[in-house]
Amino acid sequence: MGSLSRLVVLDTETTGLKPEDGHRVVEIGCIEILGRRPSGRRLHYFLNPERAIDDAAMQVHGLTLERLAHEPVFAQIAEALLGFLKGACLVIHNAPFDLGFLNAEFARLKMPNLAFHGDISVVDSLEMARQMHPGQRNSLDALCTRYNVSNSHRQLHGALLDAELLAEVYLAMTRGQESLAMATADDDPSMPQASDPALLSRLRVVRPSPEELSQHAAYLQALARACPQGPVWNRTVAAP
């Protein structure tokens, strides 16, 4: 089972919408997060799909067959990709889409699909967002707006760029931090400490509204679904 302390945020770009129609992966981007902080490790490949790219797909990511003609084919990077994903919990937005394409690529090589590897697990951030924000738009762009993640530099989709954005969105969604660059008191000794009397004197209790309580309950339900072994608060045994 993939470790929730080691996350790999993953995205792909493809030649079309359906792997069963012979469409292929043209780009893979992966960002590693350790202990809720980006480690600096990443994996990024452009791939020669060995087939034509649909016009609609080309308009999304801007990659042409001419641009990819001299890039490696999937068979050349398959082992390196598996090595990077080993032992991780994959965070993917609309996971069935990306996993469908990756598993089709492994099937062409007569290799087991990702579900075969017991040390790899998956969190679908789109499904999580739908549980947390029912009835709202939950595309990556919509979540960037909702969680104040800047995507103004994004003109076209790109696997590595989208993985970077999703990493920041996911950390914000799971309330670990609102930005990958957010400072902490340990990083900056000049920041006030939680035990500072001057800081404590300015604190006041703000009661949550019914809407906020409902949103919090939805958030806890989404976390429970994302934890393969169940959330720790459901597994804690009271001391005798």
Q: What is the pTM of this model?
A: 0.73
Residue 216 annotated in active site: no
The predicted structure's pLDDT at residue 182: 45
How far is Cα 213 from Cα 38, in angstroms, rounded to an integer?
30
Structure tokens at 20: 């069963």
Q: Which residue has 């939805």 as its token pair?
A: 218
Nearest-angstrom CA–CA distance, 162 and 110: 29
36: number of Cβ within 10 Å? 14
Averaged pLDDT in 10-residue chunks for the chain of 240 residues: 84 98 98 95 98 96 97 98 97 98 98 93 97 96 95 84 96 67 45 50 67 75 66 55
What the chain holds in terms of domains, given with CATH numbers, is 3-182 (3.30.420.10)
In 80-180, the DSSP E strands lie at 88-92, 121-124
Active-site residue (options: 23, 61, 93, 157) = 157
Q: Which amino acid type is present at position 12?
A: T
Q: Please tell me what DSSP assigns to residue 17.
A: S
57 DSSP 8-state letter: H
Distance CA 162, CA 160 (A): 5
The predicted structure's pLDDT at residue 30: 98
The pLDDT of residue 181: 45
**How high is the pLDDT of residue 189?**
44
Q: What is the pLDDT, as a whole number, of residue 192?
A: 46
Residue 233 makes CB contacts below 8 A (sequence gap 6+) with none
Whole-angstrom Cα distance, residue 48 to residue 60?
A: 17
